[in-house]
Amino acid sequence: MDMPDPLLPPRIAALPKAELHLHLEGSIQPATVAALTARHGVPLTEEEVRRRYSYRNFAEFIEAFKWVTSFLREPQDYALITADLAEHLLTQHVVYAEITLSIGVMLLRGQQPEANFDAILAAAEPFAARGLHLRFVFDAVRQFGPEEAMLVVEAAERHGSRQIVAFGIGGDELSVPAAAFRGVYDKAASIGLRRLMHAGEVGGPGKIREAIELLGAERIGHGIAAILDPALMDFLADRRIPLEVCPTSNLRTGALQRILAAMGSPGRGSLSRMLSGEQSEPEREPGPILRHHPLPALFRHGIPVVLSTDDPAMFHTTLAEEYRVARETGLSEPELAQLVAASFEFAFALPPEAARPSASVRAR
């Protein structure tokens, strides 16, 4: 039996939830990583994997992500991690998720994305009968450039599955200019894919506006830099463009610290220690820095927010933990219920059978 959570109101904990910003490759728990490495002739302990899952900034996280994905070599590896993630999502009361797949990395490693995706679909299928419906985002890597990104869209077109609901680009938003990807996003839209973009995580607010105005992005991954530009906040609220906010991720990668420094946030002593690298181990509970996350200000400005985990295993978090963090930032119970509802409202392909919070619960 689940124990009551002292920080998360029971009504919120029990609500069915959707998650919209979730990377399959970032969800691999240490025990599963150890199984993968052993499968490929590199035996490691769970503790050794946990040490790899510790980083002080975005660059260190990317190196860890590259390392763990190097052990995803065959379709059966993708099937294993899909089933593990699905089991985990059920423990979080998730009934619908849009899972991002690093197709650009698969292509870089000479793999066949269609074969990997077939294995992912087969692993995901049994979970629909258990109330969990999964859809997928084919993701390119920004620093690989537009030609490689177009190969990701073409892989989605070749496969043709209706469970591929969107195309997105992650990676280093400070690398290739957004304008270079116009043709890629036009092609994605022409084959029926919705448009996503990571922006405003390590880049400034201008990266968010470019993603929307140049590429037609319909949701923004992270987007916390919007807090630095009141006009952009108005724009997002007026256009009803959601931000996929992942607070613990922002802390782990150092994105939050940069935003707080730019804002001149209180708690500068703790902030300076984080920026200097003194706190190299991941915080296990919401700390003073995380409580200054701009989530409440963005939400209360009228910007749609969908709360997510990003890379839950790699960032030592769960969806329940993200709702606890949101509570710690000062959001009320009714506001948390609105966040739950928004994740359903802004889903790209929610099936009718996916249970949502009732209207009476959302309205309280």
> Which residue numbers are catalytic?
201
- Residue 133's SS3 state is strand
Whole-number Å distance between alpha carbons of 246 and 280: 20
Whole-number Å distance between alpha carbons of 72 and 5: 35
- Residue 63's SS3 state is helix
DSSP string, 156-202: HHHH--TTEEEEEEES-TTSS-GGGGHHHHHHHHHTT-EEEEEESSS
| Cβ count near 40 (within 10 Å) | 14
* 322 to 23, 300, 312, 329, 340: CA distances (angstroms): 15, 18, 10, 11, 11
Whole-number Å distance between alpha carbons of 141 and 102: 8
Q: Show contacts of 74-79: CB within 8 Å, 24+ apart.
A: 75/115, 75/116, 75/118, 75/119, 76/119, 77/36, 77/39, 78/24, 78/116, 78/117, 78/119, 78/120, 78/123, 79/119, 79/120, 79/122, 79/123
Q: In what order do the strands lie in the sheet with 164-170?
A: 17-23, 94-101, 133-141, 164-170, 194-199, 219-222, 243-245, 305-307
Q: Cα-flanking dihedrals φ and ψ of residue 247, to 5°?
A: -60, -50
Whole-number Å distance between alpha carbons of 181 and 213: 12
